[in-house]
Structure 1
């Protein structure tokens, strides 16, 4: 998912979108729907979204467990206290959005791009991420403990208080990060790609994790 449309009109399904009105519903299927503005709360677990667009929408405490998101485009969204446990995301994009206090654990994300987003206190424990890009994002207190990450990259992103304890990684490219603030869980970085400067910066924490005492 290299090319992500920046404008609604650039979506391949833009001409098919129909405006949505009303609430979200449990187990509902939304196909080529445009959710524009407004706040959605309540119970919508099991809902599925196919070729949908969200612009300026707030999902506040919305229960979307086991929901499915396929070819969905979200711009300027606010996900606050949203439950996305065991949800599935494929070929999706989140642009300029805020995710705070989101329960995203056990989810599966594939070919997903987050660009210019702010993630704070997001729980991705046990999630499976494949071909995921965090581009120019802020990840603060994001928990990837026990997650499986494959072909994940973080170009231009700041990681602050991000935890990878017990994670399993393959080709996770951290070289483009603006900052790597990793308080613990360094053994979970096995399989990650770092540059020399990042390795030197993290060396004291690696030594501590391995029980190595460094004395001159």
Structure 2
């Protein structure tokens, strides 16, 4: 996947259509061509909501439930998702920059052609999700669980993985070679077929040795 250049709000093809959002997000609502600028949402029950060709700038989501919602061609910048339930959501052709996902549930979700730039993921559950042509660029992924997920065409250029879990994940065309650090807590056997660099191989050697049952003695 070719990582696209960072875009600002004015560069979006639908920027001229955007109108300021006012009001509240409602369950099963449909939101198109809207700019959520500085919006703050707390404990919103917004499940099965659809956002399309919309932008989020400095928006905050605290807790709240957005299960089965869709984010189609959505642009996010400096957004905070804290303790938010995004399970079973669908992300398509979306871009998220300089944002924070903390204590967020995104399990059993689908992400396709989605890019995360300079984002921080802390204690995020992506178990059972399907990620296809997704890029994590210059991101920090701390305590992120990809257990049972299907990753196809996923890359991590410039990103740091810290206590990442891949138990029973399925990986195809996953490129870890440009990641700054690979802190794999578990599931290293599931990375069969992934691409890593020679330096990363040395870093992962102790975990690989444990996996195959090798005993390494000092030289």
TM-score (norm 1): 0.97
Residue 159 of structure 1 aligns with which residue?
A: 161
* Cα 1:181–1:2 shift into 2, 3 Å: closer
SS at match of 1:173: coil
- Following TM superposition, the consecutive aligned residue runs of length 4 or more in structure 1 with deviations greater than 3 angstroms are none
- Structure 2 residue 75 is matched with structure 1 residue 73: yes
Q: Could you give the per-residue CA deviations for residues 18-58 of structure 1, whole angstroms, max 9, x where no partner exists?
A: 11111111000001111010211210000001101000000
In structure 2, distance between residues paired with 1:175 and 1:51: 33
Task: Give the superposed CA RMSD.
Answer: 1.1
Residue 32 of structure 1 aligns with which residue?
A: 33
Aligned length: 216
SS at match of 2:94: strand
Cα deviation for residue 4 of structure 1 reads 4.5
Question: Which runs of no fewer than 5 residues in structure 2 stay unpaired?
Answer: none
Residue 132 of structure 2 aligns with which residue?
A: 130
In structure 1, distance between residues paired with 2:4 and 2:203: 33
Cα pair 1:5 1:11 within 8 Å, conserved: no
Residue 62 of structure 1 aligns with which residue?
A: 64
In structure 2, distance between residues paired with 1:8 and 1:159: 29
Question: Which runs of no fewer than 5 residues in structure 1 stay unpaired?
Answer: none
Cα pair 2:3 2:135 within 8 Å, conserved: no
Residue 171 of structure 1 aligns with which residue?
A: 173
Cα deviation for residue 5 of structure 1 reads 4.5
Cα pair 1:168 1:191 within 8 Å, conserved: no
TM-score (norm 2): 0.96
In structure 1, distance between residues paired with 2:88 and 2:4: 27
Residue 143 of structure 1 aligns with which residue?
A: 145
